[in-house]
Amino acid sequence: MRRFTTLLLLAMLLAAGLIHTQFLSAADTDFPIYFENSTLTLKSQTVDRTTYLPLLDIVKHLGLAYTDATGVLTFSIQRQNSRLALTPGSAFISLNDQPILLQNPIRRENGQWLVPLDFLSQGLSKVAGIEFRYRPGDPRVFAGNANAVELAMNAQSLGPTTRLTLRAGSPLEAELQRDASQHRAVLVLRGKVIDPTRERLDYKDRLAQSIAFDDSDGVAKVVIGTTDEVRDVRVTTADESRVFFVDLIRDITTEAAPAAAATPASASTAVPAKPDATPAIGKLKVIVIDAGHGGIDTGSTNAGALEKDLTLALARHLRTALQSRLGASVVLTRDSDVALTGEARSEVANNNQAGIFVSLHVGYSSNKVDSGSSIFIMKADFTGGMPPEPAGGRLFLPWYMAYRTSQPASQALAAQLQQDLNQALPGWKFPVRSGPIGVLSSLTMPAVAIEFGNINNDVSVQTLKDPAFQTKLASTVAAAIERFSESRPSGGRGQ
Amino acid sequence: MTSRIPRHIKFGLIALAVGFVITFGLFVDVIGRIQSMVKEKEVEENPFTPPTPPLYARTDPPMQVKIFFPGMQSDFILSAEEQTIFRSSELTNRAKQILQKVLEGPKTAGLFASIPKDTKLQEIFIDDMGMAYVDFSNPLYANHPGGMANEQATVYSIVNSLTYNLPEIRRVKILIGGAERDTLAGHCLLLPLEMDLTITNVPPPQEQVAHAN
């Protein structure tokens, strides 16, 4: 029992000690107060999670009359008919004998008077006749007519470059100081008092370690912690010195990086994530194969055969055929049994800047004896009300009309596929149809959807399940794609 | 055995048991009330249906219409079947009669139903711009067997049957369960659609008129 009591007492002591540490004052940090024509940098102290400032320095800077009566432990400030008095340990201050309650008490430590930030706005402003503005948590105060310029920071990775974008409310002067040995790049901002919307960016990548605003010494700057991989740092100014792009350039021998960094206009144009995924000019580089349906969306079914399984098997065969025949990079929208939306499928092709998109499906016809196969392209102007002009004539297109940019090429691809498939598979008919097909609508490259066979016909299902037949289908489609890509003029659209 | 348990513990246990029984009773009662409230709500959601006004009067003249259904020929997705409706004075009522014929399915051998079973027409609204908003019940997509061409057949049997026979309707927007859907069953976009006779073996209505003249 006695041992238990001892342990309990020890635990209580430990808890009290832990609580007490909260009241311990933290190390001094620099804290600027911005006046209209000057800046006062103070050493702030954090006591009980509250920022305290040394009162005497502020009063002296403002040139106010004060008395520090150490005997009675009262500090008073006078100006004209106003008198402000404060006593240590009390959250009450008296202004012309009227009490004002602060959120935190006044402190006196090591012969120094310490005041919390709300003392400035609640008490001192009334005697000094100037306003103090601060955001809770921010290590700076703006006084009087000090006009602060808002500064917003944003960072993004643009392939081999990391770009930090700074936007200020009015023009600023910026100067880059780089200290490669310390892995630091400092952008000093002069000309105006700066009020950052955020103290630090929660951003990190292989080039940037940390990005923070720092004005503790009264000079506004953005400090970027860089990594070993950064070869060069460049600053580009835009919008009449209101916008600054700070580009951290990776240490690789690529031409893309300086080009991306040099032009401020490239802020809006993303550098492709894969350098090799350039648009197909003349020769196809990327082909996207879409295995229809997947996951919870089984597609059409009959006698235990699921459309989603047949399309995935076909897609894999087609990938092999295309890789061996064209040497192109082939991307499948799905390589497993997962459900994808139409937009997700389009995104795979658009983001990889594919030269061709082929969506694979199995047909279904209520008529069991129907062949069921079709080659679909997007139907032009299916909603009506749109002038039938080429896409070049329009500045902007809604996404569901992106197909218009490559409509003639899609037709040519469908015609080539029809010719080759009809030839290779006698008895199967592949009519070219056009319709408002969701998966084809937002694609910016030649795109078709092929329906093979009729899943409502048992013989057709057995044929489609046969791996040898799947290989034959895949090689026919691959051959048609090869012929189509060879027939296209370099860089041209359509035939 | 019982004599070993002190009396006050015994009383305590009895009080606990009584308390438990009362609480359980209250709990069951509350659950019952909630269930009955939920059930009442279900009943309230289906108040007695008002008598549906007739879509036509017996005196209305007959009107020949072409109803589009998927057919035998694989070159064309849709074929037309001649049917007769009443030329009611209200456009909406004529549209409803046409859609009833589409829902009923074809009478001719070799044509197939385009609408999945259990599908109902819930509402139709035609605006001043000639756009018909047609709302079907959920089985339209839930029971759809799929297939790109087959889905196109379903969509355009509705769109073409309306726009071919009623020139006042220029575009059709299909809704399902009172809401918009991106596609019917994963393939066919359900944006406002115009008539498409290229997928049928039917000549455009103007040519037909010219031919008749």
pLDDT, tens digit, 9 for 90 and up, residues B22-79: 999 999 999 988 887 776 655 555 556 666 778 888 788 899 999 999 986 667 889 9
Question: Which chain B positions have a beta carbon within 8 Å of A456's beta carbon?
Answer: 145
Judge: A435–B188 Cβ closer than 8 Å, yes or no: yes
Of A365, A429, A431, the CB nearest to B150: A365
Nearest to B151 by CA among B180, B179, B189, B124: B189
Question: Which chain A positions have a beta carbon within 8 Å of B191's beta carbon?
Answer: 382-383, 400, 436
Count of CB pairs separated by less than 8 Å, A with B: 106
Query: Taking the model in full, what pTM does it have?
Result: 0.55
**Phi, psi dihedral angles at A413 (to 5 degrees):** -65, -45
Burial label, A294 (beta-carbon count in 10 A; 0-12, 13-18, 19+):
buried
Judge: A307–B146 Cβ closer than 8 Å, yes or no: yes
Of B112, B187, B196, the CB nearest to A367: B112
B89 Rama sector, left if φ>0, alpha if ψ -120 to 50, beta otherwise: alpha
Which residues make beta-bridge pairs with A143?
A132
Judge: A382–B113 Cβ closer than 8 Å, yes or no: no
Of B148, B150, B191, the CB nearest to A376: B148
**Sheet (strand B171-176) strand order:** B121-126, B131-136, B171-176
Judge: A437–B189 Cβ closer than 8 Å, yes or no: yes
B146 Rama sector, left if φ>0, alpha if ψ -120 to 50, beta otherwise: left
Q: Touching check for A110 and chain B: CB below 8 Å? A: no
| Structure tokens that stand for A153 in this block | 């920071």
B 180-209 near A (Cβ less than 8 A): 182-183, 186-189, 191-194, 196, 198-199
Question: Which chain B positions have a beta carbon within 8 Å of A365's beta carbon?
Answer: 70, 74, 147, 149-150
The interface predicted TM-score of the complex, written ipTM, equals: 0.73
Of A371, A438, A455, the CB nearest to B187: A438
Average pLDDT for chain A: 81
CA dihedral B143, B147, B153, B154 (to 10 degrees): 20
Please list the pLDDT of chain A residue by residue as tens digits (495 residues): 566 666 656 666 665 555 444 445 556 788 889 888 888 888 888 887 788 899 888 988 888 888 887 777 888 888 888 888 888 888 889 888 888 888 888 988 888 889 998 898 888 888 888 888 888 778 888 888 877 888 888 887 776 788 888 888 888 888 888 887 778 889 998 888 888 888 888 888 888 888 999 888 888 889 998 888 888 888 888 777 888 888 888 875 544 434 433 334 333 333 333 333 333 334 678 899 999 999 989 999 987 889 999 999 999 999 999 988 887 889 999 999 999 888 889 988 988 889 999 999 999 988 888 888 999 999 887 776 554 455 455 567 777 788 888 889 999 999 999 999 999 988 888 999 999 999 999 898 999 999 999 999 899 999 999 999 999 999 999 999 999 988 876 543 333
Judge: B186–A382 Cβ closer than 8 Å, yes or no: no
pLDDT per residue as tens digits for the range A140-175: 888 888 778 888 888 877 767 888 888 888 888 888
Question: Which chain A positions have a beta carbon within 8 Å of B189's beta carbon?
Answer: 382, 400, 436-438, 441
The answer to whether A116 touches A51, Cβ cutoff 8 Å, is: yes
Q: Within 10 A of A329 (CB to CB), how many other CB atoms are there?
A: 18
Residue to mutate among A433, A448, A455, A461, with most B CBs inside 10 A, is A433
Question: Which chain B positions have a beta carbon within 8 Å of A433's beta carbon?
Answer: 77, 149, 152, 199
| Structure tokens that stand for B120 in this block | 């109902």
Determine the 3-state secondary structure of B168 from DSSP.
coil
3-state helix, strand, coil in chain B (%, to 5): 40, 20, 40
Minimal Cα–Cα distance from A320 to chain B, Å? 26
